[in-house]
Chain A
Amino acid sequence: MKVADPTGSETPEGGGPVTRQPGRVAGWRVGVLASPAAPVFAALVAVFLIAWLVVELRGGTFLTVPNIVNMLQRSVALGIVSAGQTVVILLGSLDLSVAQLISLTSLIGSTTMDGSSANVVPAVGLVLAVGAGVGLANGLIITKLRVNAFIATLGMALILKGLIDNQWDGPAGRVPDSFESLGYTRFGVIPVSVFLLIAVVLAIYLMLRYTRFGYRIYAVGGDEDVSKLSGLRTHRTIIAAHVVCSLTAAITGLFLASRLGSGTPTVGPDGGYDLESIAAVVLGGTALMGGRGGVLGTLGGVFILAVLDNTFNQLEVNSFLKDVVRGVIIIAAVAVYARRQGVRP
């Protein structure tokens, strides 16, 4: 490499100091290639093709409209909560309380509605308020009490679990038919719930990419001290991000209540939404330490998990092996991202 003017043809992953910017078009190209979502969707396509091949060879049906729709529909709950989880992980935090919050909000939603359409609006409002409150509490515990996010949200999960177990010992409440239709109605072949997923992901995508709040999340996740010394009010950003994450959990809780017809104390933990959402985020290329990644990658990660699930179900693989394979894939994905990042930043 030359001293004064090294080559202008640096590859995006190339180390060493940069010199001349090759121009806007190249800059765009670098942006797309360097985007963490690109390899995730490449991986998704690969997983999809392999699954297709394997399932068809074994006499199953894979590439049919019902099967694809089925996979999409099964991605909705995990997709929504993972989108929220992406926000806090980008920030360098995480949220282990989402699974219990999903249970709690499903119960609050269904018992408040209590089978009456007139109660839907107040119930949704109440559930979102509870979600925002839990997120606010998480954020305050992390920033003001300076408790590590892992411990803070683990503690919050236990608190919520205690509240749920104290109040309910089984499914409770009933959602009205009008609300239940959210889980089953289709628009053409596409279930309405898929639009809900798209709406949440799109909202978070736009928020991360175009608003100040989004820029600040990346900044705080990149380096909290640097952000603070640059005059950024980091506590506000952390608290707001946790509110967003908990809101997505509350929406997931409502969605599951509509799908099941009533709220259930174990719907969150049974779905494994806490660790599964973190797995989807990481599989989607977002750095667990924060500052790098995005929600589109997470969506790819959710779909990869859905395709695997579908494949394993069709092949009737035993569930232990299923978990082993998923574990291997998650570890392999993170190892690949680490390699892409290069040894010397």
Chain B
Amino acid sequence: MSDAGVPLLEMRGISKSFVGVEVLHGVDIDLRAGEIHAIVGENGAGKSTLMKILAGVHDPTEGTILIDGEEKTFHHPAAAQHAGVGIIYQEFNLLPDRNVAENVFVGREPVKRGIVDRRAMERRTEELLEEVGETSFGPRTPVRRLSVAQQQVVEIVKARSLDARILVLDEPTAALADHEVELLFSLVRRLQEQGIGMLYISHRLREVFALADRITVLKDGGLVKTLGTSETDPGGLVNLMVGRELDGYFPERGEPGDLGDVRLAVKDVSTPLLRNVSLQVRAGEIVGLAGLQGSGRTELARAIFGADPLTGGSIEIDGKKRRLRTPRAAIRAGLGFITEDRKLEGLALAQSIADNMLLAVRTVIPGARRRRAKGLMSVKELAAVTQLRARGPEQEVRFLSGGNQQKVVLAKWLETKPQVLIFDEPTRGIDVGAKAGIHDLIRKLAREGVAVLMISSELPELIGMSDRILVMREGAIAGELPAGAGEPEIMHLATLDEQAAA
């Protein structure tokens, strides 16, 4: 451990400009050995840029990085790694075609007489997996076959294998179910005891307060304040982050009278991963879909949307039976699907905001009909409705923050005038301020008569938003709960015979 005088890591006056636009303005931050230092802020606050500078991905325009009081410059991620900085990125950073051991040791494979020592690599990976209590897969399992939560474990193991003294965790729990979060926490605390300093980036304030010793708030690329965890509370922190009071985290629910006819009816739908799923969503209703990772929530959404073939059952929209064999047919029938992974499935990242917003409507509705269609919104109107913050309609989507990207995805679907919208983790990796905006938008759509089916792993969101909650388990509906059901009831249904199965 370093002595009290010299922090493990110090970043002083860090500024960064991209093509003349300054996105970080002289940020100071320090980290002591064995400390968990949380960094919070809205999307676009500069957290990711700051971390990428620490990781050696970007060079700072100004400012210095000191490790153990010694000035360092990183021109390549390898240099940062060498100096003891390990980063777990928010976007998964694994090679799907390689196995677990190959991913853990990528670029640093142990060699014996010029030959990669596979056995040593696998043995070490096995040890590291055992250390974190992971036995459901081994070092030879291809990463392609792992679930998102399992991949997260590989990420952590990979950072562990580096013997990093400074560990950056960027939204590490975004994709984890609650029991997996607990596992991560115990791992983080164990690393803390070993004297590893951690920068913990999260939107989930509950986690920040559970773990952090100190909290730094960033806003619009500048440092707002660094304070001890005991000096503040979640409300105060949110105020610092957004610069305003956030009252009413969730929009008001619909009244029973607001509900219309059944818009989406799923009857006995089966696929290789689903067993006789039936459900109904009415116009104006938000139905929450809960369940653990792998319980079939996303599979159900894909089946309804025509992305995966059904082996049995039927789907009715507005009382009419429809055969939706492709997403195209589903969109024409009035469905929209906001996917879990917006970068992979939701957006053409290198295309402009305008092109992305018009993508679905352009491809699915022929030109003549589109021109005649009434009430089609312009790109400007779509941006206004979704409160998109961007430089202009021609900006490439990849330069937007996560929250704003999600708004573009939403706008894309709004333009097709959907009757039924399916959301899969609509606010994953999105900050508090933008989350509230997206929640408002979802409720507003429901008020306008859209039937909404919303998948979410964040129970407060699910409970706060839903008029009704369906819980899935093992590819089937395990039960239904009314609005305002508690977390324990949902978890009970979702995990009922988990122990028996394990």
Contact = CB atoms under 8 A, between A and B. Distances in A.
A211 B273 contact: no
B138 A21 contact: yes
Interface string B293-321: 11110000000000000000000000000
B294 A219 contact: no
Interface string A159-183: 0000000000000000000000000
Interface residues of A, number: 39
Interface string A224-261: 00111111110000000000000000000000000000
B77 A1 contact: no
B76 interface: yes
Interface stretch (A10-18, A69-77, A130-138): A10-18
Interface stretch (B143-151, B187-195, B219-227, B441-449): B143-151
Contact of B115 (A10, A210, A216): A210
Contacts of A4: 498-499, 501-502
A3 B501 contact: yes
Contact of A18 (B97, B109, B137): B137
A345 interface: yes
Interface string B67-101: 00000000011101110000101000111111000
Contacts of B295: 3
Main secondary structure, interface of A, reads loop
Contacts of A231: 76-78, 80-82, 107-108
Given A3-B498, A21-B137, A210-B116, A230 B273 contact: no
Interface magnitude class on chain B? 35 or more
Interface string B384-407: 000000000000000000000000
A34 B140 CA distance: 13
Contacts of A31: 140
A21 B98 contact: no
Contact of B78 (A5, A18, A233): A233
Given A2-B501, A19-B136, A215-B106, A229 B474 contact: no
A300 interface: no
Nearest to A234: B107
A5 B114 CA distance: 40
Interface string B276-295: 00000000000000001111
A271 interface: no
A27 B136 contact: no
Contacts of B473: 3
Contacts of B498: 3-4
Nearest to B140: A27
Interface in B141-190: 141-142, 144-147, 150, 158
B141 A21 contact: yes
Contacts of A218: 95, 97-98, 102
A219 B146 contact: no
Residue of B98, B114, B292, B293 with most chain A CB atoms under a 10 A cut-off: B98
Given A219-B95, A229-B77, A232-B78, A1 B144 contact: no
B116 A345 contact: no
B365 interface: no
B102 to A, nearest CB: 7
Contacts of A227: 95, 106-107
B111 interface: yes
Given A18-B141, A215-B102, A229-B77, A6 B294 contact: yes
A20 interface: yes
B348 interface: no
Contacts of A269: none
Interface of B: 55, 57, 76-78, 80-82, 87, 89, 93-98, 102, 106-109, 111, 114-116, 135-138, 140-142, 144-147, 150, 158, 273, 292-296, 473-475, 495, 498-499, 501-502
21 contacts: A1-B296, A2-B501, A4-B498, A4-B501, A16-B145, A17-B145, A17-B150, A18-B150, A20-B135, A20-B137, A211-B116, A218-B102, A228-B57, A229-B57, A229-B77, A231-B76, A231-B77, A231-B78, A231-B107, A231-B108, A345-B96
